């Protein structure tokens, strides 16, 4: 983790460059005396600035450390890459496991493979899986079983670990509060005698072989509610087996060789490493007829969330019309496990030395990845940009193949995106329907090379700007009034729960209920009507056909929309000028759709579905479609609630979330 922090090495560099610039000036100027004076003043100034910057940086760094989001893009402390344990042909491993309130560690043959003494972090049960033949660390997890549901995740994980692996457990701080019987029974079945009786603030260590012997267990009971059990240190020996015994005997094929390499290194991927019936790692989905995106490179932007990447690549490689040769996975950092996943699927992976921190780090990684993509595929006119926490719809490439010509021909387009910000289970209906929207949704999208090379790349935010790349792309200076094409039903699904800007609550509220297309080969409807002028004709036709809803009713109520199907309804809301989203935001809130910033609009018009009817919302008088409002109708105005605690805080933090 130290390496990825606001690099202390950077500051001396900056000082140095100032110094050099100053020194250089000295040599070049004639009026030395005058310069000495200015130089001295300058030096003082520089020193002051550098110092202030130093102080600020330190404070910022300290502040960041305090922040809740321990699960960062760089996965912080817990997943620091550990040197794999040396083999040395030794038959016995010395294992040391320590459990205490504030610190845990595990050492294998004297090498520390886990050490966590960070404050306010890493609470719960730490689990390490070792290869029984080599002693290599295959997986490291921590389950905060003080909190609910974490024990279920632990059970899931333990069930996935292959028989014969060596499992090491240790508790930091507290690991029993939400450790339910199911989990205790699983631990018991592994041979633990203490697990069924683990209680509040007990310390516990355990080493055993899955489905085999127990190498040791130590436990210290907490004497009282307010105190912790004494630290325990377990020292034991583990006998290694032969490599033969630790491997599955799959038929010797190219695919299985990749599988073998993968399965001997990492754990926690379930049936892909099953000896009996391993899940396939090659998918051969149907090719697409007349695939217009077969030669379009696909950049998968990844950090250190290998399990996510695994899930993502599976869905990507299962999508019809996928061309694995065009896929490149860009990993932000020199993490081994994501690279193992990439190699398992026979794809090409590229690692990027991280620059800067947090959002800026992600932005720099995006830039490096996009630049490299167009270098690797110099013929490409487009690139598909994906992220490691997305599921890809089976007709993702079919969707793009049918629409990509628009991006090539219609200069008023900014992107094609697979994601509809407003496409929730209860608001999206038609897999063949496309929209034009003024916002850039991201989450699986197509970028035009000329846009990147001529406009974005030259002025991409520099590393010191802590900006979100997607927020930057949405700014008017970049978007320049252009629009994106999106489907009504998303062709990607955002499953990431941990990540920069992401947490469980946020995911539950805004992403979980997103609709995701599962129908193959959807024929998109009326694609040509998505062109700039044709779309206006289409909207006018739609509004002409739409039935005006009863504006005396409450638009938040279900009864606002009649119990019909397949009809088109329109409502008018108050929108004084282009940037007046007061009523829209309230409406979005009560409809339980994206309300953290404005998404999915086209000239003051929103399109979604309610009760299987197409539902149009027009902002009056700002929208050019206001003319469609019958004079008898008064646009609905919804008042923003008086500022309340909590409710306001989330949007403020989360405005930048959606990537």
Partner 1 sequence: FLSFQNGAAFSKVRGSQSGQDSTRWHVVRKFLGLISSHNIPVYLIDPLILGLVDKDIEQIRSSPDGPSPQCKYFCAPRDFTTFALLDKTWKHEVGLFRTAEKMGFQWLKILNKDPRLDGMDDLSGMEIPLHYIFKLASHAIHVVVFYERNGNYLWHGPLRLKHHMDRKFVPFRKLHFGRYPGAYEKPELLHVSIDDLKVQIPKNPSGFLEEMSHSRFLECRYREARAFFQLYPDDASLDAVEFRKKAKSLLHLAALTLNNLGVKFWLSSGTCLGWYRQCNVIPHSKDVDLGIFIRDYKAEIIPAFQKAGLPLKHKFGKVEDSLELSFQGEDDVKLDIFFFYEEDDHIWNGGTQAKSGKKFKYLFPKFTLCWTEFVELKVHVPCETLQYVEANYGPEWKVPVKTWDWKSSPSNVQDNGVWPIDEWDNVIQIY
Catalytic residues: 389, 470
Residue 113's alpha-carbon distances to 97, 189, 265, in angstroms, are: 10, 25, 15
Q: In the window 24-53, what residues touch partner 1 (CB under 8 A)?
A: 24
> Which one of 3, 5, 8, 21 is in contact with partner 1 (CB under 8 A)?
21
Q: CA-based angle 354:360:392, to the nearest 5?
A: 80
Footprint of partner 1 on 379-418 (CB under 8 A): 379
Stretch of 203-211, 373-381, 438-446, 596-604 lying at the interface with partner 1 (CB under 8 A)? 373-381
Shortest CB 464 distance to partner 1, Å: 9
Residue of 408, 403, 412, 607 lying closest to 525 (CA atoms): 403
Number of residues that bind partner 1 (CB under 8 A): 32
Q: How far is the CB of 3 from partner 1 (least distance, A)?
A: 13
Is 462 a binder of partner 1 (CB under 8 A)? yes
Choices 186-194, 368-376, 384-392, 484-492; region in contact with partner 1 by CB under 8 A: 368-376
Indicate which single residue of 1, 3, 8, 13 sits in contact with partner 1 (rule: CB under 8 A): 13
> Tokens 């119990």 — which residue?
563
CA distance 527 to 539: 14
Given candidates 206, 345, 374, 424, which one binds partner 1 under the rule CB under 8 A?
374
In whole angstroms, the minimum distance from the beta carbon of 508 to partner 1 comes to 36
User: Residues 583, 585, 590, 594: is their CA dihedral positive or negative?
Assistant: positive
Q: Which is nearer to partner 1, 162 or 326 (CB)?
A: 326
| Residues β-bridged to residue 487 | 434
Residue from the set 80, 186, 248, 372 that interacts with partner 1 by CB under 8 A: 372
Candidate list 51, 58, 348, 537; residue touching partner 1; CB under 8 A: 348
Contact indicator for 272, 281 with CB cutoff of 8 Å:
yes
Q: Which of residues 253-292 bind partner 1 (CB under 8 A)?
A: 254
**For residue 654, what is the enclosing H or E element?**
helix 649-654
Instruction: Give whichever of 331 and 575 is closer to partner 1, judged by the CB atom.
Output: 331
Of 581, 565, 564, 561, the C-alpha closest to 573 is 581
CB of 1 to partner 1, least distance (A): 19
d(CA 534, CA 414): 17
DSSP code at position 147? S
Instruction: Output the smallest distance, CB 349 to partner 1, in A.
Output: 7
Restricted to residues 616-645, the positions that interact with partner 1 (CB under 8 A) are none
363 sits near partner 1 (criterion: CB under 8 A)? no
Between residues 372 and 527, which has the closer beta carbon with respect to partner 1?
Answer: 372
- Taking alpha carbons only, the member of 521, 490, 347 closest to residue 427 is 490
Identified binder of partner 1 from the candidate list 108, 220, 296, 368, rule CB under 8 A: 368
d(C-alpha 493, C-alpha 428), whole Å: 14
Q: Does the footprint of partner 1 cover residue 7 (CB under 8 A)?
A: no
- Note whether 128 and 106 are within 8 A (CB): yes
Cα–Cα distance for residue pair 259/244, rounded to 1 Å: 15
CA terminus-to-terminus distance, the chain: 23
Positions that interact with partner 1 (CB under 8 A): 13, 16-17, 20-21, 24, 254, 325, 328, 330, 348-353, 355, 364, 367-368, 371-372, 374-376, 378-379, 453-454, 458-459, 462
């Amino acid at each position: 983790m130290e390496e990825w922090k606001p690099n202390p090495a950077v500051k001396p560099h900056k000082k140095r460059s100032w110094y050099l610039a100053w020194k250089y000036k000295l040599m070049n100027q004639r009026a030395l005396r005058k310069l000495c004076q200015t130089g001295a003043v300058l030096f003082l100034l520089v020193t002051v600035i550098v110092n202030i910057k130093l102080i600020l940086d330190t404070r910022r760094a300290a502040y960041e450390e305090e922040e809740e989001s321990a699960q960062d893009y760089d996965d912080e402390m817990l997943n620091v890459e550990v040197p794999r344990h040396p083999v040395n042909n030794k038959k016995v491993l010395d294992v040391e496991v320590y459990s205490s309130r504030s610190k845990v560690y595990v050492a294998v043959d004297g090498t520390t493979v886990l050490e966590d003494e960070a404050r306010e972090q890493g609470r719960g049960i730490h689990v390490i899986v070792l290869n029984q033949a080599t002693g290599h660390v295959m997986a490291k997890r921590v389950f905060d079983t003080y909190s609910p549901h974490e024990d279920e995740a632990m059970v899931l994980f333990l069930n996935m670990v292959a028989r014969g692996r060596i499992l090491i457990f240790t508790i930091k701080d507290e690991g029993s509060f939400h450790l339910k019987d199911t989990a205790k029974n699983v631990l018991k079945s592994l041979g633990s005698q203490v697990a069924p009786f683990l209680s509040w603030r007990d310390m516990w260590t355990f080493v055993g072989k899955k489905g085999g012997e127990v190498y040791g267990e130590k436990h210290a009971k907490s004497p009282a509610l307010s105190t912790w059990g004494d630290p325990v240190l377990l020292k034991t020996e583990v006998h290694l087996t032969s490599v033969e015994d630790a491997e599955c005997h799959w038929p010797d094929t190219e695919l299985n060789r990749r599988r073998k390499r993968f399965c001997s290194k990492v754990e926690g991927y379930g049936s892909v490493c099953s000896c009996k019936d391993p899940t396939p790692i090659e998918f051969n989905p149907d090719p697409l007829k007349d695939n217009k995106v077969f030669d379009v490179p696909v950049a998968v932007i990844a950090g250190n969330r290998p399990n996510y990447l695994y899930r993502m690549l599976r869905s990507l490689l299962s999508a019809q019309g996928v061309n694995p040769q065009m896929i490149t996975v860009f990993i932000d950092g020199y993490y081994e496990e994501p690279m193992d996943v990439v190699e398992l699927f026979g794809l090409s992976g590229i690692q990027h030395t991280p620059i800067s921190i947090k959002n800026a780090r992600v932005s720099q990684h995006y830039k490096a990845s996009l630049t490299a993509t167009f270098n690797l595929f110099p013929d490409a006119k487009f690139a598909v940009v994906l992220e490691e926490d997305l599921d890809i719809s089976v007709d993702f490439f079919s969707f793009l193949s049918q629409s990509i010509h628009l991006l090539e021909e219609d200069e008023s387009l900014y992107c094609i995106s697979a994601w509809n910000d407003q496409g929730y289970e209860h608001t999206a209906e038609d897999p063949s329907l496309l929209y034009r929207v003024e916002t850039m949704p991201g989450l699986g999208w197509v970028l035009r090379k000329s846009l990147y090379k001529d406009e974005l790349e030259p002025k991409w935010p520099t590393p010191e700007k802590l900006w979100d790349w997607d927020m930057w792309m949405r700014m008017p200076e970049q978007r320049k009034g252009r629009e994106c094409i999106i489907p009504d039903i998303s062709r990607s699904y955002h499953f990431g729960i941990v990540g920069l800007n992401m947490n469980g609550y946020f995911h539950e509220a805004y992403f979980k209920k997103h609709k995701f297309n599962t129908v193959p080969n959807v024929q998109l409807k009326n694609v040509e009507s998505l062109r700039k002028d044709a779309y206006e004709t289409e909207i006018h036709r739609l509004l002409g056909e739409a039935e005006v809803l009863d504006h005396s009713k409450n638009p938040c109520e279900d009864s606002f929309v009649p119990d019909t199907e397949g009809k088109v309804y329109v409502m008018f809301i108050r929108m004084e000028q282009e940037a007046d989203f007061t009523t829209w935001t309230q409406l979005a809130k009560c409809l339980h759709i994206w309300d953290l910033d404005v998404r999915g609009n086209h000239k003051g018009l929103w399109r979604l579905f309610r009760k299987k009817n197409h539902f149009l919302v027009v902002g009056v008088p700002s929208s050019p479609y206001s003319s469609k409002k019958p004079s008898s109708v008064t646009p609905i105005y919804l008042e923003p609630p008086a500022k309340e605690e909590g409710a306001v805080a989330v949007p403020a933090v989360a405005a930048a979330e959606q990537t």
